[in-house]
Amino acid sequence: MFATLATVFLFAPAVLSHGIITVPPSRAIGPAITTACGQAITSAIKSDNTSYVEQLTKIASSDNKFDRAACNLYLCKGLQFSDNSANVQTWKAGDVVPVKIWLRIPHEGIANVSIVSTKQNKLVGDFLKIWTKAYAPGKSEQDVPLEQRDFSVTVPSGLETTCANAGDCVLQWWWLGTAAKQTYESCVDFKIAASGPYRGLEFNA
Ligand SMILES: *[C@@H]1O[C@H](CO)[C@@H](O)[C@H](O)[C@H]1NC(C)=O
Ligand SMILES: *[C@@H]1O[C@H](CO)[C@@H](O)[C@H](O)[C@H]1NC(C)=O
Ligand SMILES: [Cu+2]
């Protein structure tokens, strides 16, 4: 009995992998992802929200409810804005945003943090963080340098139009375990607060 339990615990981390943004709150499942991506993807993310995209792609290929046009697994793992509209961060240029990653299982590789416009799945502006090597080394979360999983980013200027509306942009953390060939993504929904000369008036209103 004990041996069986020990075995379960030893093997659990290999099944439950690998990383997700925990601060600010990141995109999670809801009814919209089931409509777009099918029940199999929803169930997979429900059982492990740190899983990698290649695994989800495989799962999707055997679910005929997977809608390729509506579900881009390479953008926030297919997680949908409409399931997360209650969790939108409001930022303005210059804000320093603390970001925490739960790096459940490391796989050494490369990573970056960027703003992505969701309509085009395109990078907006420069990378906010970039690791061109040696991201997430070691065997357990403690082996990963703290600055790779607990850092902050500064909200750039110039997003006032592109990211004015919730759902148009996400803050995306992207990580590729180069040897493992596993891609991880996690997204935070945000909008840029209206700013400029009318700020005082709004305040008084
Ligand atoms: C991810 O799953 C963990 C439990 O394993 C949970 O505590 C956390 O809230 C989930 N995060 C998201 C964004 O779904
Ligand atoms: C940064 O992340 C994107 C995904 O948004 C990825 O396609 C790209 O290869 C990464 N670039 C670098 C230099 O890490
Ligand atoms: Cu792995």
**Is pLDDT above 60 for 7?**
no
Ligand 2 atom nearest residue 130's Cα:
14
Cα–ligand 2 centroid distance for 112 (angstroms): 6
Q: What is the pLDDT of residue 194?
A: 78
Domains contained in the chain, CATH given: 23-204 (2.70.50)
Q: What is the pLDDT of residues 61-99, one digit of tens each?
A: 999 999 999 999 999 999 999 999 999 999 999 999 999
Q: What is the pTM of this model?
A: 0.89
Q: Which residues line ligand 2 (CB under 6 A)?
A: 110, 112, 114, 130, 172, 174
Q: What is the pLDDT of residues 113-171, one digit of tens each?
A: 999 999 999 999 999 999 999 999 999 999 999 999 999 999 999 999 999 999 999 99
Rounded distance between C-alpha atoms, residue 82 and residue 68, angstroms:
18
Between 185 and 8, residue with greater pLDDT = 185
Ligand 2 atom nearest residue 116's Cα:
5
Q: What is the pLDDT of residues 26-40, one digit of tens each?
A: 999 999 999 999 999
Q: What is the pLDDT of residue 1?
A: 40
* DSSP string covering 149-192: TEEEEEPPSS-TTTTSSTTSEEEEEEEEETTTTEEEEEEEEEEE
